Amino acid sequence: METIEQLIVCGGCNAKIGPGNLGELLADLPKSTNENLLVGFDSADDAAVIKLRDDLAIIQTLDFFPTMVNDPYLFGKIAAANALSDVYAMGGEVLSALNIVAFPEEKDLKVLKEILRGGAEKVREAGAILAGGHSIHDASVKYGLSVTGTIDPAKIYQNNTCQAGDHLILTKPLGVSIITVGYSAGEISQAGFEKATDSMQMLNKYAMDIIRPYKVTSCTDVTGFGLAGHLYEMLDERYSAEIYSEQLPYFEEAYTGAKEFILTAGGQRNRNYMAEKINFVVEDFAIEELLFDPQTSGGLLVSVPAERASALVEELQAANVPAKDFGVVTERIEKDIVVY
């Protein structure tokens, strides 16, 4: 079997610009105003939504990043699953995708072929059309997709429309950045690493297919800002939330790794941004790190009325989606998030 050159581990959603800096960058940019622009970047949502007619809108999004695993084929699958996720987070169906590639001029093109093969497989799994793309030479490998989806304008899920009393459900375990960083340093087992990569390459399509029939008040996917950062966006400074740490879904080796101070730069950026917004009643440093850990191709964070939460979690788990009901939305108090 031909040996393919391995990638340097340096990114994933851990490479994202931090939420505080990003907010400052976007604050003064001119806003687009158009009656058909239903969701734009001014709402900090997952993607743009543009109405074509009363019963049809398109979702536009893109996502790409540096490598977080050294296997090119696996990297392609994870990056594609991550990019496709924004469409699912808004309740949509994926229509088409275009490759986004940055690749060193001196690097073996067989590596790029493997990345593209992994990405193409995930687009095909999503039932979408891969219709080309754009590539440039760059000092480091980067890959992702520009994605177009479709949705009924009356059925859009936004990331900041939760209600007091809602239960909070997360569909994938936390801790993938801790695991990938720890694995590259020889501190995480092969089995633990494979559990994390299996999660990262799993499409959120399967969770969303189950979620759609339920009454959903708000939805987003958990990526570079960590669970704490994306939940903060969902609360929109109108509500607060209680998180019950014993009910959080996370990888056991990520928890033990955090206890041994396997940390990520993105996690520390998220911690700094959220420091004044979150109150840890529970005294557990590892839980704190898991909440701040940037997730690459993370799960869907969904808020649903309390009476529907149990049935939704049971149906998701029956379909092998490892979802957990981990908290509730409350009326506004001093802190945005309280962790018990």
Report domain extents, the chain. 12-155, 167-339
Task: Decide if 79 contacts 103 (C-beta within 8 A).
Answer: no
- Residue 280's identity, in one-letter code, is F
- Residue 90's identity, in one-letter code, is M
What's the rounded Cα separation, in Å, for the pair 94 and 140? 29
* 325 annotated ligand-binding residue: no
What pLDDT is recorded for position 39?
Answer: 77
What pLDDT is recorded for position 37?
Answer: 85
What's the rounded Cα separation, in Å, for the pair 73 and 39? 33
Q: Which of 10, 13, 162, 219 is catalytic?
A: 13
What pLDDT is recorded for position 4?
Answer: 62
Dihedral class, residue 146 (left if φ above 0, else alpha if ψ from -120 to 50, else beta): beta
* 45 annotated ligand-binding residue: yes
What pLDDT is recorded for position 38?
Answer: 84
Q: What residues in the chain have per-residue pLDDT under 50?
A: 1
Contacts of 261 (CB under 8 A, 6+ apart): none
* 108 annotated ligand-binding residue: no
* 28 annotated ligand-binding residue: no
Q: Kindly state which CATH superfamily the domain 12-155 is placed in.
A: PurM-like, N-terminal domain (3.30.1330.10)
DSSP 3-state helix, strand, coil percentages of the chain (rounded to 5)?
Answer: 40, 25, 35
Q: Annotated catalytic, 219?
A: no
CATH architecture of 167-339: Alpha-Beta Complex (3.90)
pTM, rounded to two decimals: 0.90
Per-residue pLDDT tens digits for 187-231:
999 999 999 999 999 999 999 999 999 999 999 999 999 999 999
What pLDDT is recorded for position 20?
Answer: 56
Burial of 56 (0-12, 13-18, 19+ CB in 10 A): exposed
